[in-house]
Amino acid sequence: MKRIIITAAITMVMAVMCRAEAKIMLNSNIVKEGGVVKAVLYSNKPFSGSEVKFMGEKYPVFFRSYDKAAKEFTFLVLVPVPLETVGVKKLHIRYMMNGREYEHTEKIKVKKISAGRSDIQTDGKRAALGVNFGPENKIIKKRQEKRTSLKFDLPFIKPAEGEITSAFGKKRTYDGGSYGSTHKGVDIANKMGTKVAAANHGKVVEAATMKGHGVTVIIDHGGGLYSLYFHLKGVYVKKGVDVKKGDIIATMGSTGVSTGPHLHWQMNLFGVPVSPMDFLTMM
């Protein structure tokens, strides 16, 4: 009996030590449009040639940590689900380990969100400035092209205190329908000068004044994840500096095309706007 137990124990230890495939833990197989698919990969050997495919796009796999005691590598996969996506999609994870190729497929069910719609009165300001958003968005996109190693710790924090006045994914028209768009971040409204903190650790890749987005800060959190802060008043950080989660980076303002003091907080994953609020509960 004792021998059987010992044999069983050794077999279990061997199974864990020689686990051929990586263990893949998915946050959930059900995600809302504009959400994030999160997978954590555990293995006793480093990977090579890892790749994730989702909706025709390829995404990298990022090294997260190595547990010396458990001799275990942890990798993180974050994949954006664009807005206006619904239905069942396949997530393919491929990696090389010990010279062998492994592929793992998960079905992801994408549900619709209903963030509402509204018309915003800007007295023609939005339409007049519309032409300026193109070059601004080009600069903003360029700042988010780098794929740096992971710097963030989950979860993220809400960068400012205040009321959410406009949800992510809200359909908007301006001045009675002269211009339409979908809200790509969340608006947090509070008094002028309210402190704005870095939502997580990272590097400031932009701190500039723009005509449409107003005073803007962009932070690179690594792993293709960036946080954007628009319509600020004062900025306390410069391009190139490292920030910690909770560091005060700016104050709330109403610069650019804005109808009152608020922070537009946006999270972009590989350039795709995803729901910022989801990062507050992501572990």
Establish if 278 lies at the interface with Zn ion (CB under 5 A). no
Number of residues that bind Zn ion (CB under 5 A): 3
Binding mask 167-186 for Zn ion (x = CB under 5 A): ------------------x-
One-character DSSP codes across 194-253:
-EEE-SSSEEEEEEEEETTTEEEEEEEEETTEEEEEEEEEEE---TT-EE-TT-EEEEEB
Asked whether the beta carbons of 162 and 264 are under 8 A apart, the reply is no
Residue nearest to Zn ion (CB): 264
The encoded tokens of residue 144 equal 């988010």
Provide CB contacts within 8 A for 12, sequence distance 6+: none
CA 237 to chain centroid, in Å, comes to 21
Question: For Zn ion, which residue of 187, 206, 220, 278 counts as binding (CB under 5 A)?
Answer: 187
Establish if 126 lies at the interface with Zn ion (CB under 5 A). no
Question: How many helices (H) and strands (E) would you count in the chain?
Answer: 2, 22
Please report how close the Cβ of residue 45 comes to Zn ion at its closest, in angstroms: 45
Binding mask 214-253 for Zn ion (x = CB under 5 A): ----------------------------------------
Please report how close the Cβ of residue 254 comes to Zn ion at its closest, in angstroms: 12
Asked whether the beta carbons of 184 and 166 are under 8 A apart, the reply is no
Q: Which is nearer to Zn ion, 120 or 282 (CB)?
A: 120
Q: Which is nearer to Zn ion, 154 or 164 (CB)?
A: 164
Distance separating alpha carbons of residues 102 and 20, to the nearest angstrom = 10
Please report how close the Cβ of residue 203 comes to Zn ion at its closest, in angstroms: 23
Give the footprint of Zn ion on this chain (CB under 5 A).
Answer: 185, 187, 264
